[in-house]
Structure 1
């Protein structure tokens, strides 16, 4: 396909990608343009022209969509953290429903997939309990400009919870750290992890009781203050996690996912459940409390230690067996009684064809897939269909307002 013309180009946006970009057609070629919406007529400049597609930079919105609004954050046009601040929250959710549906059709090969409307979860601002920030050359903390390693200094981030913003403010700037993770939970726990830069560190003065850690080149951490952990409370259960460990970044969102998973599986009393990619037990513990016998599998050994402690503290340790194993190895080698229910919460890349094939061989009656990437979900849905599992429902949740990210709880049955 020929190269696109240089200089400003007028085009109409008619698509929207799962990465949050509008799609215009110029001379038959798809041009991805961040910051645009379907139906808008825009002036753009091509900045990356490939054989089959191109990427453009928005110059002007000539005919704006009715859903376009002024971003609530002054850094929205430069910071790469939030890419949908120019859209009303309700419209953001409609776009996310559209994206999930399109991915299941295009990549999943499903006709008319049963996708529900995206559900709002918690506030549209002030929801994020944890953030990883980077330091610019002057030591000021901020976030990367979209598509670059350039740092946009951000003193106040409107998507952080007040507690997380307090930690960011307490850490301040010019600590000598190259990166800083800040965290604050619903239980009142606070913490920060500093990744040292090439020079000396000036340790911040955090509140009494806050955890402070230093990351080491080998991936380990040294705890300077506290015990290196924080505790989050979801659905009446406490989950301890490392300050920089993985857990859902919104408390309301974690609760919504737990409720959705339990709602899909129904009565699990006496059933055998596998919780794969279990983390610190967000789904394992509620399943066990509901009466299931749970095998929780997680590849990060430190998370498994926390999962066991979390189950013990909740009085559920007799119902939860936690294994520090690679999920692919577990499903391939497990040959005892098959599970009745499987909960899959894989990383952004998805479970993958190998895990799906081995899992389907066990023929569980219900597979509940918690997806953080619609494209990965769609690929795994196609693989499940090949093994005679059908998609019963797909419920998107807006856990990350102001961004293109969407979480989906999908239910598959044979």
Structure 2
């Protein structure tokens, strides 16, 4: 195996210096180019002197004028100066992407956004996952294209005005209208106002239960707490929420089940998105009556409860202690038998695979909903050793899914289907439910 060069150029045998060949810098003057690709991060890809150049705002098939602003050894980034020949999917955005809070696909018609997401998923599974002809279904719309978020985080600028961070910056763009937030979230924004003394304010509101909470991260000065029909919680440096008004407990109704959780616990940012995930996972696992199903990275039990209701024997594994407590209480409230294990997923899976824990049987089916970084090679290897008949993988990052797909297929599993769900319209983010069989 060759050793990578050091930052200074590396040292070959007998101490002779081996400098890396120089790479000519790309020109910084405007260039007219054609967009021939699209990244999973939502950027168009052009080629300048053979180098891949990423262009935010550019769409495949367009002829554009760009200016290089960042030039690395193997790639570069450019700004979009002008669109000479626009894509048929290009539209006038409802607002600047920074005002939307990350709306980097707001310049694309909603159906076009979903076609791009389908394309990206298919390309990532093919190129990075090494799956020939990936069985990717068309991206499915699951709710409104605006006004869908039940959870929004705002930051304060130096004058105390609340808004979103500008892309790739800590600068704050003040906003009065939270266009991606639900009407209930907007109502919270109206009441909270500005100049609360907070460094950061999180707004969460769930229409199905009427619960709402405002979480305030204090700034350096005094706080002016908002008054209204919602809970107020202080975020503490130790990560524990400190309720100031109310108990800081939220709830959401999904698929006929009620889930309760505190402000530190993760829950899907749209009720329609959560419902779509439950439906798609149940469809993917098929008949599970009597089967032993492990729900890994289970959170507060979003998928565990419907699986138990379908007749599965469910073991829910979650490393976040508050979330496991809510999973236990949510299962009890629904009168559903779910065994909840509070442990890092990688530790528990490895312990069972190595027979360090004999109180848990290997699963028949695994439902896997890892963080953005994916499950990783160690977890995948241990799952393969346990040999479940099927693995249903819920992914929020297509590149991580593709990497884990390669590990699974090389170990003898086959990808039978991947259903992209558009849980985050106006952004490049995508949720996917992928099914693997042994």
CA contact (8 A) 1:156 1:165 kept: yes
Structure 1's consecutive aligned runs of 4 or more residues displaced over 6 angstroms after TM superposition are none
CA pair 176-60 structure 1, distance change in 2 beyond 3 A: same
In the alignment, is residue 135 of structure 1 matched against residue 156 of structure 2?
A: yes
Measure the CA separation in 2 of the matches of 1:46 and 1:6: 5
| 8 Å CA contact retained: 1:80, 1:147 | no
RMSD of Structure 2 on Structure 1 (CA)? 1.1
C-alpha distance in structure 1 between counterparts of 2:157 and 2:102, whole Å: 16
1:27 is the counterpart of 2:49:
yes
Q: Does 1:176 align with 2:197?
A: yes
1:99 paired residue number: 120
1:78 Cα deviation after fit: 6.0
Q: Is the 8 A contact 2:36 2:61 kept in 1?
A: yes
Contiguous gaps of at least 5 residues in structure 1: none
CA distance in 1, matches of 2:342, 2:310: 23
Q: Look up the match of 2:29.
A: 7
2:382 to 355, 358, 371: 358
Q: 1:249 to 1:77 in 2, by over 3 A?
A: closer
Is the 1:78–1:146 Cα contact (8 Å) retained in structure 2? no
Q: Which residue is 1:154 aligned to?
A: 175
Q: Who is 1:115 aligned against? A: 136
Among 340, 346, 349, the residue aligned to 1:328: 346
Distance between the aligned counterparts of 2:379 and 2:231, measured in 1?
A: 37
Distance 1:262 1:411 in 2: 11
Instruction: State which structure, 1 or 2, has the greater radius of gyration over its C-alpha atoms.
Output: 2
Distance 2:249 2:165 in 1: 26
**Residues 38-97 of structure 1 deviation map (CA, whole Å, 9 limit, x = unaligned):** 111111111110111100111111111111000112x33666511000000000000000
Residue of structure 2 equivalent to 1:387: 411
Task: Tell me the equivalent position of 2:7.
Answer: none
Alignment of structure 1 residues 106-255 onto 2, 5 Å: 106-185=127-206, 186-207=208-229, 210-255=230-275
- CA deviations on 1:194-244 (whole Å, 9 max, x unpaired) are 00111111101122xx11100111212210011111001100001111124
User: Quick check: 1:61 aligned with 2:83?
Assistant: yes
Q: Take 1:11 and 1:250, find their aligned partners in 2: how far apart are those partners?
A: 38
1:267 Cα offset (Å): 1.3
Structure 1 Cα separation of the partners of residues 245 and 272 of structure 2: 28
Over residues 7-47 of structure 1, what are the superposed CA-to-partner deviations in whole Å (9 max), with x where a residue is unaligned? 21211111000000001111111110101101111111111
Could you give the per-residue CA deviations for residues 279-326 of structure 1, whole angstroms, max 9, x where no partner exists?
00000000001111111000000000000010010011xx20111100
Q: Structure 2 CA distance, aligned partners of 1:159 and 1:20?
A: 18
CA distance, structure 2, for counterparts of residue 392 and residue 338 of structure 1: 22
Query: Take 1:40 and 1:241, find their aligned partners in 2: how far apart are those partners?
Result: 46
- Point out where structure 2 has 5 or more consecutive residues left out of the alignment: 1-22
CA contact (8 A) 2:28 2:69 kept: no
1:81-125 Cα shifts (integer Å, max 9, x gaps): 110000000000000000001111111111111000000001111
Q: TM-score, normalised by structure 2?
A: 0.92
Question: Which sits farther off after the overlay, 93-102 or 39-48?
Answer: 39-48
